Structure 1
Amino acid sequence: MPPKNYLHPVDLTQPKYLQTLVENRRVFNLENCELNVFESYQETYRVPLTFNEFVITSMVRGKKVMHLFDQPSFEYLPGETVIVPANETMVIDFPEAQQDNPTQCIALAVDAAYVNNTLQYLNTYYNSDPNEARDWRLQFNQYHFANDTEVTDLINKLIRVCSSGEKGKNIFADLNLKELLIRLVQSQHLQQVAVESIDHTNQSRLHFVLHYIHEHLTDKIAVDALSRKAYLSRNMFFKWFKEQFGVTPLDYINRERIKLAKQLLADKRNNVSAVSMQCGFTDVNYFVRLFKKSEGITPGVYQAMLYANDSRMAAN
């Protein structure tokens, strides 16, 4: 299924200003980051690209195939982001790039000192409880992901600010860049704890809460019950969960239920109402609205598209 959180369109380079048809580059320099806009206009393979700084890349249009970290290659599409450490070479294919169908991607190269200062802020601010202190850092085992709404909005703002002529653009870029880095780290932390909680239920309060949510995903999960299990008041639980993971407990529960729903919808024997109930939703209309907000289409359309794709594959 296509990602839903697309970046705003970025103007293409006028043909007379193109310096190359492969990875033509426009650069906007700021105090703590550098915005690069790359465009490719012809089918090309095995193009290397390396940055001297940590880089956040996000697709705007077209398709790339990425070869990274000696891992299997993957398609890179609009609505997706890839993060790469400094001095790590990306090898890129452009299998569909043409003059009338260019590939366009932005890359935010972030100053190393700025990244370290932001992580130090996290380590200072969020480690007030010695029982749950952790080393906040960027991880690169989760380097390719679909944009959520917050990441998309922040990258859109950074593109607008970096390419503007505003006098205070370094100030605005600093605010948005810091939030983007924090949200990326929080999202990675959530994914890591969720995986660890499968086998290490009692490693920490975080692991216990996420394990409980996944074990009871198809049941009614009361936030009051979660807060009691975390030995926190309801208000403190909300604040603690959001600070650790960047999302509210309800947002996380609903997101995991939508993931489960997509798996269940792949079975032709399951209709939308049955899937809604199996995923812990008591109101099928609420489930449909939530699914559409998350995926851009209703669960019925999603299921129909899966069946159509299966039929095409069987015919071939």
Structure 2
Amino acid sequence: MPSHNYLNTISLTPRKELQTFVEHRRVFNLNNCELNIFESYEETYRVPLTFNDFVITSMMRGKKIVHLFEKPAFTYLPGETAIAAGNEPMVIDFPEASELNPTQCVALAIASGYINDTLGYLNNHYNSDPDIKHNWKLQFNQYHFNNDAEITDIINKLIRICSSSDTAKNIYADLNLKELLIRLVQSQHMIQTASEASEISNRTRLHYILNYIHENLTGKIAVDTLSRKAYMSRNDFFKWFRQQFGITPLDYINSERIKLAKQLLSYGSHSITEVSYRCGFSDVNYFVRLFKKVEGITPKVYKDLSCMRID
């Protein structure tokens, strides 16, 4: 399905300047990172690729099939991001690449010392809740995900900064790299905690709150109720939740409801109105607007595309 959060397009390399039709590479070096722009113009398979440092990649055009971490291969499309550790071998297929339909991907390699310093700072200054008992760290059990709006905005900024001639670009890049790392860690922490919540809901206050949200998605979930269950004031609860995940409680509730709506639209015979109410939305028009904002298409278009795919 289409993703709403595409990166801004980058001009393709003029044909006369291409050194290869497979993974032609442009490189921009800064103090703590290296921005690579890869383009491929012909169908090919089993292309190896390895970076010395931790790398954040995002698709901009076309389609790849990526083999990573000895896991099943995944289809890599625009609006998606993948991460890999330094010296982690990747193997990439380009089943649809051509001069008329090239692939384009950005890869941001970040120095390990910079990552360690940033995570160390976060652990020293933003790990004050003894109930959570987790460290700020990058994990690789979750390595392929859709861009959210914040991640897309940061990567767009970093592309502009790295490719500019601004003499202060290392300063600007440093600020945006830190935010990007924080967003990625928060996203991974949210996915990990949510996956554990149903089985170990009483381990931490955070597991308990997420499990309560999941069990009550189809009904009304008041933030005041959540804050009481967390034994916090409303304001403190908002700050605490956002510090853990980078989003508000309402954003999280809505994102989980949209996931449920996609399941119902894909595999059920429910109408758009029925799906809206079953996912806890009392206003169908609001549901349609939110769905389009998140997915880039309306629930009806999503449902029609899902039916075509199943047929």
The verdict on a shared fold, with TM-score over 0.5 as the criterion, is yes
Q: Name the amino acid aligned to 1:216.
A: N
The residue that corresponds to 2:181 in the other structure is 181
Whether the 8 Å CA contact 1:123–1:134 is kept in 2: the answer is no
% identity of equivalent residues: 67
Which shifted more, 154-163 or 114-123?
A: 114-123
Following superposition of structure 1 onto structure 2, how do residues 47-126 of structure 1 map, counting pairs within 5 Å?
47-126=47-126
- Preserved contact between residue 47 and residue 91 of structure 2 (Cα < 8 Å): yes
Amino acid at match of 2:183: R
Q: Distance in 2 between matches of 1:264 and 1:97?
A: 34
Letter in 1 for 2:83: I
5+ long unaligned stretches in structure 1:
312-316
Cross-structure match for 2:151: 151
Task: Report the AA paired with residue 147 of structure 2.
Answer: N
Question: In the alignment, residue 186 of structure 2 is paired with which amino acid?
Answer: Q
Aligned mates of 2:134, 2:124 — CA distance in 1: 10
Instruction: Determine whether 1:25 maps to 2:25.
Output: yes
Q: Which runs of 5+ in 2 are unaligned?
A: none
Q: SS where residue 199 of structure 1 aligns?
A: coil
Instruction: Count the aligned residue pairs.
Output: 311
**Cα displacement (A) at 1:268:** 4.4
Structure 1: distance between partners of 2:203 and 2:103: 45
Residue 116 (structure 1) shift: 0.6
Q: Give the corresponding residue for 1:220.
A: 220
Structure 1 Cα separation of the partners of residues 32 and 267 of structure 2: 49
Amino acid across the alignment from 1:27: V
Task: Summarize deviations over 1:171-216 as a string: whole Å, max 9, x none.
Answer: 1111111100000000000000001111001100100000000011
Residues 215-234 of structure 1: CA distance to partner in whole angstroms, max 9, x if unpaired?
Answer: 11111000000000001100
Aligned 8 A contact 1:6 1:152 in 2:
yes
SS across alignment from 2:92: strand
- Secondary structure, aligned partner of 1:132: coil
> Aligned-pair distance for 1:53?
0.2
What do residues 141-171 of structure 1 show as CA deviations (whole Å, max 9, x unaligned)? 1101111111111000000100001111111
Cα RMSD (Å): 1.0
Letter in 2 for 1:288: V
**For residues 196 and 303 of structure 1, what CA distance do their matches in structure 2 show?**
30
Q: Distance in 2 between matches of 1:45 and 1:310?
A: 28
Cα offsets for 1:259-316 (capped at 9, x unmatched)? 00111112442101111111111111111111111111111221122223333xxxxx
SS at match of 1:177: helix
Asked if the contact 1:81/1:146 (under 8 Å) is kept, the reply is yes
- For the 8 Å contact 1:66–1:91, the answer to whether it is kept is yes
List aligned pairs for 1:156-305, cutoff 5 A: 156-305=156-305
Displacement of 1:15: 1.6
Structure 2 residue aligned with 1:314? none
Query: How many angstroms apart in 2 are the aligned matches of 1:15 and 1:285?
Result: 47
1:121: how far off? 1.8
Q: Which moved more, 1:132-141 or 1:203-212?
A: 132-141
Cα distance between partner residues in 1 of 2:305 and 2:100: 28
Q: What TM-score results when the alignment is normalised by the length of structure 1?
A: 0.96
1:36 aligned onto 2:36: yes
CA contact (8 A) 2:4 2:293 kept: no
1:86 match: secondary structure: coil
Equivalent residues of 1:162, 1:173 under 8 A apart: yes
Secondary structure of 1:58's partner?
strand
Q: TM-score, normalised by structure 2?
A: 0.98
Conserved 8 A contact 2:2-2:297: no
